[in-house]
């Protein structure tokens, strides 16, 4: 899907939730308005069906129109290559099991729209110095693995959650 439609969809989604939120927030603060809205839903029950259907269609659209990419494209000298996320995941998992077996609880890989790799990792409770050492060692080790084994020389991000 082109980026224009992607942005347009996000703007429409933003306005839908903004208007819906303002509508229901107004019902909370103005008692006469609350009574009128309740009577409207009782007298015309199809309105609640329409609101539910629109919310359901938005969630289905988000789910099917914007799936997460499961591969990353590498530009090599003569050709480009697609590599499955599970291959990268196995290298990252093996690295962290060797270097930090009790520190890493869970991690996830994301491929950003500009084909950049983002690694989000959940750590056990460790002190600040250990986190700094973890980040430095991970940046160096994963960079070496990604560039050496997979020929990935682009930037990548590591997000740490404690």
Structural domain ending residue among the three candidates 39, 65, 91? 65
The pLDDT, as a whole number, for residue 147 is 82
- Which of 40, 65, 90 is a domain's end point? 65
Structure tokens at 63: 């789910």
| Residue 13: per-residue pLDDT | 78
Q: What is the mean pLDDT of each run of 10 residues along the chain (162 residues)?
A: 59 82 79 82 85 81 65 52 76 87 84 79 84 86 83 80 76
Report the domain count for the chain.
Answer: 2
Are residues 75 and 57 located together in one domain of the fold? Answer: no
Please indicate, yes or no, whether the overall pTM of this predicted structure exceeds 0.75.
Answer: no
**Confidence at residue 2, expressed as pLDDT on a 0 to 100 scale:** 47
27 and 90 part of one domain: no
| 33 & 11 share domain | yes
Same domain for 40 and 93, yes or no, is: no
- Give the CATH number for residue 96: 3.30.300.30
* 61 and 75, same domain (yes or no): no
Q: Which domain holds residue 22?
A: 3-65
Q: What is the 3-state secondary structure (H, E, C) of the chain?
A: CCHHHHHHHHHHHHHHHHHHHHHHHHHHHCHHHHHHHHHHHHHCCHHHHHHHHHHHHHHHHHHHHCCCCCEEEEECCCCEEEEEHHHHHHHHHHHHHHHCCCCEEEEEEEECCCCCEEEEEEECCCCHHHHHHHHHHHHHHHHHHHHHCCCCCCCEEEEEEC
Domain shared by 100 and 154, yes or no: yes
């Amino acid at each position: 899907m082109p980026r224009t439609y992607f942005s347009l969809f996000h703007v429409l989604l933003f306005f839908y939730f903004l208007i819906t939120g303002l509508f229901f927030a107004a019902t909370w603060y103005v008692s006469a308005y609350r009574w009128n809205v309740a009577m409207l839903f009782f007298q015309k029950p199809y309105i609640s069906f329409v609101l539910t259907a629109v919310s359901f269609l938005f969630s289905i659209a988000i789910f099917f129109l914007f799936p997460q990419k499961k591969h990353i494209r590498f530009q090599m000298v003569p050709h480009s290559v697609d590599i499955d996320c599970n291959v990268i995941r196995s290298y990252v998992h093996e690295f962290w099991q060797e270097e930090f077996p009790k520190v890493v609880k869970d991690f996830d890989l994301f491929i950003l729209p500009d084909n950049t790799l983002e690694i989000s990792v959940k750590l056990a409770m460790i002190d600040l110095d250990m986190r700094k050492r973890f980040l430095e060692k991970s940046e160096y080790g994963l960079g070496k693995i990604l560039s050496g084994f997979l020929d990935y020389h682009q930037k990548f991000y590591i997000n740490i959650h404690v």
